[in-house]
Structure 1
């Protein structure tokens, strides 16, 4: 657990991608099996966590720490796991509990045995290892890296390309002993998993300088739809639907997998579609959290797949072909599928960048985020190569809002108030409309933290209620109606784009600034 905790801590405090890769390579090279395999499963989301609930941990620490002392400590630290890790009065000799002992011990344990296991492990570990243990067993582990980055670091311990690892990844299970043996010079494993996931190709943001160097005749354009990127795979009678990170979500969308009557792999966007109308992302969100949707949900929120590309078809790997040749193959494939569930994302006609910019600025539907540019001669290459595909998103919408609440951050931000809830005026009161924790510099974070401490009017555990005195400019990508929120709206990807130290709270925007957008979009 010491090596694992050290890795998590270093990853959290290391900003550069190459530096993170070096940490991962060193860990996978030095840590023995099966600990490194279970760590890889944690980093890639391949391990079931959440066996211990916060209430269980609170009960354990209540047996050892004065309740008032714990409450004061929790209020100061602002994070339950970190508070317990720091305040836990260990008993007995300290030892390094292997990650394998934790993972396999919890897998074997009954519900009544978990408290005793947790207490013994917490007794044996130091503060950093306790924090890693608690985050792991509560399912609250956030390490700030993608599964792709973890596999890229893994690939560096051998000579096997990360793309080749990705091709076989779906067939491995923790703790991945055959995978590590292969990377260290052993035989290539024979993976027999049906309908495996293939690593996806991603785009890079388009900038104004890019446009000056690119020829529009070299590119095709499509709309960028506001859904989730998925891969639909069918092979030998097995049909699966994966997210772009390889998570199998087939059970949540049975109407899609039922329509995968082919032998191949297709790339597209998962949407909720009623006839020709694509529903807001909020409708899709209601489906994403359900592993077994009922008949009513299937009827009211029907899923559909808008296809972008074709990877495999009838046993032929089409990924090396240029996009200009894959596109007609995709259209032919879509013609064989149920049109109520599957269609191809339409190509956009444009003569120059000015014409495409006009389309981007005035899309035909509110659920369109912008446009995608795909080089006609581009092969389908896993990862995010710069140049073949670009995403040119619409300019974000902006409102001036008032900060209402602040909460401490996590990791290197745990000592600062960095998570902010903001609101707009509805009559003579402020109603919350969103939450943001990004968009400001470290220097601005320090100023925001000082503002929070000087303008606190009430406390609720780790959250502070603030005097409504600071206006921030909030940028966001989209907007949905939401009955769950008092304001009736929910923002997509909000972030603080500017701190308006100069603007009084009375001059912040009103809620109608958002509801008018929804009314105009017919949402």
Structure 2
């Protein structure tokens, strides 16, 4: 555990991508199985413990330290794992003891809910501050050491003569502690093969396109299609060795969501793997994303919900057709196979994402600006931009730059007033970086009042973060635990220009609306709060 803790500690202070890869590669090279495989699982988010949750950590520290002191410390530090690691009082006479990472993972996975607190307390007593911090990071699942799953897989690939893309391709069929993966990468074993008849395939992602990119791209080499406002899914079906048919619906990250969408699973009558967008379609029209949210993240779904929120896949690509793996073929060839497959399905729950005709970038610009006139018709409200794909591009895992681009529609903006702020986490734990903002509306007595309409914690630069943090500290008028209320009068306060992708009606928000993907676009020091926008402006966007 100490070696894993030292790895996390060094990575948390290392800013360079290549340096992080070297740190992980050195650890994997010098650490035996199964320890290195479990570390890889932790870094890629593949570990989950049913009985070990942040609430358990809070309960334990409340038994060992003054709860008020803990809350004050947590407010100051901003990170649960770091706060508890620093505050944890080692009992008199307790001997230092660092268990293996494998011992801890086994215990977290097998100890009962009743016995786990005692074992966790014993581990915390035996570890030093860094070890406690790493253990608590493992439990909370929030590593925050600047290493994505892709970066960790790149480090694994560097141990041998394979590429990160090759690791990505075999990854979905693997389970911790990944001994067969390390054996293959190091040349000691064969390439891992999955026996799953309906496996997940790593998805291909796009880069956001900039205006300057168009000058280097030939429009004749690309195709375009609408970017729909749903969630990316992969529909997979196949027949196992026992003759049983297996159908799976995966999210973009490979999570099996089949149980939440049994209506969709019934419509997957083909053998192969299809890439598309999961939507809700009622009366032949694509519903907004907030309607799809009624079906997301549910373990069970009722008959009523199936009827009120019918699922639908709008197909983008075909990865496997029967037993033919098409990923090495160009997009144009895969698209032709996809069109033929969808034509054979005869189901209203799966259709094609239509192509957007264009011959120049100006024509595509016009289509993006007005999807209704460019063929999206009644579904134009669910279009969030266009996807631009090279006709000759194979289907590659990850986010290779060049073959695929995404060009989202310009966001909406609103001038809102900063109302509340709280500290961030990790490197932002010393800054007030999470903001709640509001717009003006008519109060119960006819006066102008601010009503919160959203929260945001990104979009600003480091320098702007320092400016907002300084404002929060000098303009605080009230405190509610870790949250600070700042002055927000007509003539005093801070106006934020907020960009967002869309709005939806909401019964959970006091304003009656919910913003999608709000972010801080600009600080309006030049604008008095009294001139910020009104709720009626947002209501007009909803129609």
TM-score by length of 1: 0.94
Compared with structure 1, are the counterparts of its residues 284 and 3 closer, same or farther at alpha carbon in structure 2 (3 Å cutoff)?
A: farther
Deviation at 1:89, TM superposition (A): 0.7
Q: What is the rounded CA distance, in whole Å, between the counterparts of 1:514 and 1:133 in structure 2?
A: 45
Out of 461, 466, 473, the position equivalent to 1:441 is 461
> 1:102-153: CA deviations, max 9, x gaps?
2101222111101101111111222233233223224444455433332222
Compared with structure 1, are the counterparts of its residues 455 and 251 closer, same or farther at alpha carbon in structure 2 (3 Å cutoff)?
A: same
Compared with structure 1, are the counterparts of its residues 147 and 240 closer, same or farther at alpha carbon in structure 2 (3 Å cutoff)?
A: farther
Q: What is the rounded CA distance, in whole Å, between the counterparts of 1:68 and 1:82 in structure 2?
A: 17
> 1:322-363: CA deviations, max 9, x gaps?
212211110001112243210110011123111111111122
Alignment of 1:369 onto 2:372: no
Alpha-carbon RMSD across the aligned residues, in angstroms, is 1.9
Answer yes or no: is the 8 Å Cα contact 1:471–1:499 preserved in 2: yes
Corresponding residue number in structure 1 for 2:449 = 429
Map 1:378-457 onto structure 2 (within 5 A): 378-427=393-442, 428-457=448-477
Please say which of residues 90-99 and 261-270 is displaced more in the overlay.
90-99
Alignment of 1:86 onto 2:94: no
Corresponding residue number in structure 2 for 1:207 = 210
SS at structure 1 position matched to 2:295: helix
Alignment of 1:22 onto 2:22: yes
Deviation at 1:221, TM superposition (A): 0.8
Corresponding residue number in structure 2 for 1:98 = 100
SS at structure 2 position matched to 1:63: helix
Corresponding residue number in structure 2 for 1:477 = 501
Q: What is the rounded CA distance, in whole Å, between the counterparts of 1:447 and 1:378 in structure 2?
A: 45
Corresponding residue number in structure 1 for 2:138 = 136
Corresponding residue number in structure 2 for 1:45 = 45
Answer yes or no: is the 8 Å Cα contact 1:5–1:129 preserved in 2: yes
Structure 1: gaps spanning 5 or more residues: none
Out of 507, 520, 531, the position equivalent to 1:507 is 531
Compared with structure 1, are the counterparts of its residues 161 and 121 closer, same or farther at alpha carbon in structure 2 (3 Å cutoff)?
A: same
Answer yes or no: is the 8 Å Cα contact 2:267–2:347 preserved in 1: no
Out of 87, 101, 111, the position equivalent to 2:113 is 111
Deviation at 1:216, TM superposition (A): 1.6
Q: What is the rounded CA distance, in whole Å, between the counterparts of 1:10 and 1:114 in structure 2?
A: 29
Q: What is the rounded CA distance, in whole Å, between the counterparts of 1:514 and 1:144 in structure 2?
A: 36
Alignment of 1:298 onto 2:306: yes
Deviation at 1:391, TM superposition (A): 0.8
Compared with structure 1, are the counterparts of its residues 494 and 24 closer, same or farther at alpha carbon in structure 2 (3 Å cutoff)?
A: farther
> How many positions carry a matched residue from both structures?
519
Answer yes or no: is the 8 Å Cα contact 2:49–2:109 preserved in 1: no
Compared with structure 1, are the counterparts of its residues 295 and 139 closer, same or farther at alpha carbon in structure 2 (3 Å cutoff)?
A: farther
Corresponding residue number in structure 1 for 2:375 = none
Compared with structure 1, are the counterparts of its residues 440 and 276 closer, same or farther at alpha carbon in structure 2 (3 Å cutoff)?
A: same
Alignment of 1:197 onto 2:197: no
Compared with structure 1, are the counterparts of its residues 2 and 216 closer, same or farther at alpha carbon in structure 2 (3 Å cutoff)?
A: same
Answer yes or no: is the 8 Å Cα contact 1:480–1:518 preserved in 2: yes
Map 1:118-517 onto structure 2 (within 5 A): 118-188=120-190, 189-236=192-239, 237-364=245-372, 365-427=380-442, 428-468=448-488, 469-517=493-541
Compared with structure 1, are the counterparts of its residues 50 and 87 closer, same or farther at alpha carbon in structure 2 (3 Å cutoff)?
A: farther
Structure 2: gaps spanning 5 or more residues: 240-244, 373-379, 443-447
Answer yes or no: is the 8 Å Cα contact 1:74–1:461 preserved in 2: no
Deviation at 1:29, TM superposition (A): 2.1
Please say which of residues 118-127 and 132-141 is displaced more in the overlay.
132-141
Please say which of residues 322-331 and 35-44 is displaced more in the overlay.
35-44
Compared with structure 1, are the counterparts of its residues 125 and 426 closer, same or farther at alpha carbon in structure 2 (3 Å cutoff)?
A: farther
SS at structure 2 position matched to 1:174: coil
Deviation at 1:37, TM superposition (A): 1.4
SS at structure 1 position matched to 2:259: helix
> 1:159-208: CA deviations, max 9, x gaps?
22233323322222111112112212122134312211111111111111
Corresponding residue number in structure 1 for 2:376 = none
TM-score by length of 2: 0.91
Deviation at 1:12, TM superposition (A): 4.2
Answer yes or no: is the 8 Å Cα contact 1:49–1:138 preserved in 2: no
Deviation at 1:310, TM superposition (A): 0.8
SS at structure 1 position matched to 2:64: coil
Answer yes or no: is the 8 Å Cα contact 1:51–1:138 preserved in 2: no
Deviation at 1:290, TM superposition (A): 0.5
Answer yes or no: is the 8 Å Cα contact 2:76–2:430 preserved in 1: no
